[in-house]
Structure 1
Amino acid sequence: MVSGFSLVFIMSLGFYITPAILGSPQQSLISQLIATRVTDLLDFGSASALGVVLLVLALLVLAGVAFVTTMSRREPKNA
């Protein structure tokens, strides 16, 4: 279950086609903001800052998944 969560989460980070079609301009995801800043506004500085935020968020989630997986694999110590 944890592996499935992490795979779906990481794959959905760069996914912006369906939310762009179904969503509204007032509600956009980080990947949509990055694409808009690069293609329409040519604002590479804020697009790269958003990219770093997205990368840090993904790494934190993966670290949390790794921690939970490691803790669940540990064998309980006999007292």
Structure 2
Amino acid sequence: MYLKSRVKVLLAERDMSQKDLAEKTGLTTRLISEIVNNKVKMYPKEAMEKIMVALEVKDVGELFTTVEEADDK
């Protein structure tokens, strides 16, 4: 079982771009892109906290979903 980021979905629901999120959080657009596209192996705690604040998410579980297999392809 693997964690998959839901940040792309949350951005769409809020009509925000990755660039908007980067500006709001102070994170790099590269890191935001890597999180959105599930390219990170370890999620930086501080980055996820900033994303939660920016997206007004109360539970870290809203940022992720679980999948049976990694879809690295």
- TM-score range with shorter-chain normalisation? under 0.3
TM-score (norm 1): 0.25
Higher helix share: 1
User: Computing the radius of gyration over CA atoms, which structure comes out larger, 1 or 2?
Assistant: 1
Bigger relative contact order, structure 1 or 2 (CA pairs below 8 A, ≥6 apart): 2
Higher strand share: 2
Name the TM-score, length of structure 2 as normaliser: 0.26
